[in-house]
Chain A
């Protein structure tokens, strides 16, 4: 049981003094639906695409069962879906939206302007390979496409973390120092459609964590006449971009604050808001990745430890803002880092994945740099099997001992010849 110590005035959905934290067997999508209920979201817009549509179904069920009161709008497509919540947010609604794969891309005009407008829309991206070819499995390229736009972007590992990140997303995104949209990556199938044990917090606890959404003098309302987003062109735009840059810088501190408060109220969240480290204390080499691929990698690491290898895992939780200082501090301790990308970036430096090149870039000015090896793995939702993990381990070990030249820094793993 969590003790509520916040002195924030009560708001949000009605509380019940007898309510206690409960346990549910829920998918990542169902956990997100619970977060929508607990956050007292005003407007959510939906359009079906797998695997995101698990949230659609779970939310609709909560509404049908009288457990949730939210304006649930089914749009004619993803573009309208994201536009609806953008406008609802501008008039002061707490909002939720989400999509997957090419559906996420169909919404992209709305996705871009939402960040420009500094509207704290919270979205999940149920990660799915981009068509063509048609495929339902998980790749991170859909969510990663927002990385340059001013969206905060994080990846959940478990159904519990999906719920926790969603509550944190509204708190951080709606904070006036940030005021940016937040996307939460949920690995398709492994997280969106797999049921796990999830602790559902009480409404009272959530109400004390999440303040009422207040746009202040940015609220679009007849009593507050404002013009939003007039044409500006070259003589204003750079200042506007600079504001977004500053907001993203602010987000690092606001996420840290939210993480601290979340841990105090709910007792979860790990030691570091941005990174989750596993068996790294004496590690010489580590793997680094995002989302659910940490789970098979942890299995591999335990096996390797039994064989006496000093190996660990660093899971990146927030991709935007990129926790450069934390990454440098953490990775400087190791001889070599194997970055596992569940994405591709064709023609990129060293033909590496997106995460690989971000990590390498972050380490460039570090006084002590580990060797960085890149792995493109588990695309299209392919599982990470133990032989693949061993192959990655061997290649990272080789790099640590200086056996690999710079031409060998990126490898595709588990591909049939």
Chain B
């Protein structure tokens, strides 16, 4: 840890002198082309004033997986010599600017391998910038961001997260707006006129250059002091073993069937999460069967509750559920933890249903089912816990 701090300190001096390092944090596959375009445009715009640069994706992110946080980098330097200190790297330890192209990523990201959930600002230098594309206000974004350890500037670029597939690109001008915002935040490195000149070369659309101007004008900026943000997120760290402490034979602990691996956290990939209406659930098992990540646990009553730490928010459960509005996919930014919700339903139906309606935006009791369910005998499980968690018999 001490080494890392020293390394960071050394890098800070370098970045302030002759180069700037910008990372783009994005959702794997869906936003790859977007991140690549932003990084390349930063370098190509800088060429217009004689600067040089490099752009690269984090090598270990490939092959990318749907929604799993990934990173792309752009480094601009005044000359080749200054650029050398940023070359031949997988991932810069310190960045001046972190661009987050989906606001749910501010809840923390994983590195390519699982080394714990890391605050979104983790590599950002003191007095650096976190740029988030979001329809929310800076305060709302900050409320889901880990409490700051050092001051930075939060900038919100108006717009929804731009999602498309691997082979297509959603040309909604997100990249142009982000480039415009950068021109406002780090004008010494990214100039609006260079960005707009580049855009005019690349596209015949006049509106694209206007989008850069819009990003420049409409970006909302807020200074963040140390301590500001939430301390509610799970703290997850992982120490890498040394050659004397590793098990020989490239072996890591696994789990017996039916046990959950405490290291297997996938929620960093989530933009939407399923919320379940236990009153309208008909216990058909479809969500439990079709979930690709085995997220559902069977309750004593035979309901299926979501283990949110394991859920990537793919939405398959909601798609296969035969009951309307029984499983509803809800914006991840509305939630502050990964706790199971079934316990609340069990202890207080009314409180749970109010919460469900607030989150899901649909009625909890469309046909008075809850009232009938409340009359039903309690404590007669229809599916035994053991049998259900045991496998596919």
Contacts and interface: CB of A to CB of B under 8 A. Distances in A.
Interface of A: 116-119, 179, 217-218, 222-223, 225-236, 239-240, 242-243, 246-247
Contacts of B240: 235-236
B256 A225 contact: yes
Given A223-B256, A230-B252, A239-B242, 20 more contacts: A117-B250, A118-B248, A118-B250, A217-B247, A218-B248, A218-B249, A225-B255, A225-B256, A226-B251, A227-B253, A228-B249, A228-B250, A229-B250, A232-B113, A232-B250, A233-B60, A235-B240, A236-B246, A243-B243, A246-B243
A225 B253 contact: yes
A179 B90 contact: no
A210 B186 CA distance: 70
Given A235-B113, A239-B241, A240-B246, A228 B256 contact: no
Given A236-B240, A246-B243, A116 B250 contact: yes
A179 B248 contact: yes
Contacts of B247: 217-218
Interface residues of B, number: 20
Main secondary structure of the interface of B (DSSP, over half): loop
Contacts, number: 60
Those 8 A-B pairs whose CB atoms lie nearest each other, nearest first: A225-B254, A239-B243, A242-B243, A118-B249, A229-B250, A227-B254, A227-B252, A226-B251
A173 to B, nearest CB: 13
Nearest to A225: B254
23 contacts: A179-B249, A218-B248, A222-B256, A225-B253, A225-B254, A225-B256, A226-B251, A226-B253, A227-B251, A227-B254, A228-B251, A230-B250, A232-B113, A235-B240, A236-B240, A239-B241, A239-B243, A240-B246, A242-B243, A243-B243, A243-B248, A246-B243, A247-B248
A242 to B, nearest CB: 4
B240 to A, nearest CB: 6
A231 B65 CA distance: 14
Main secondary structure of the interface of A (DSSP, over half): mixed
Contact of A239 (B246, B251, B254, B255): B246
A63 B257 CA distance: 38
Given A222-B256, A233-B113, A240 B243 contact: yes
B148 to A, nearest CB: 27
A119 B254 CA distance: 19
B165 to A, nearest CB: 24
B90 A234 contact: yes
B250 A240 contact: yes
Given A233-B60, A239-B242, A239-B243, A226 B248 contact: no
A119 B243 CA distance: 18
A322 B255 CA distance: 40
Given A235-B240, A236-B240, A240-B243, A119 B252 contact: no
Nearest to B250: A229
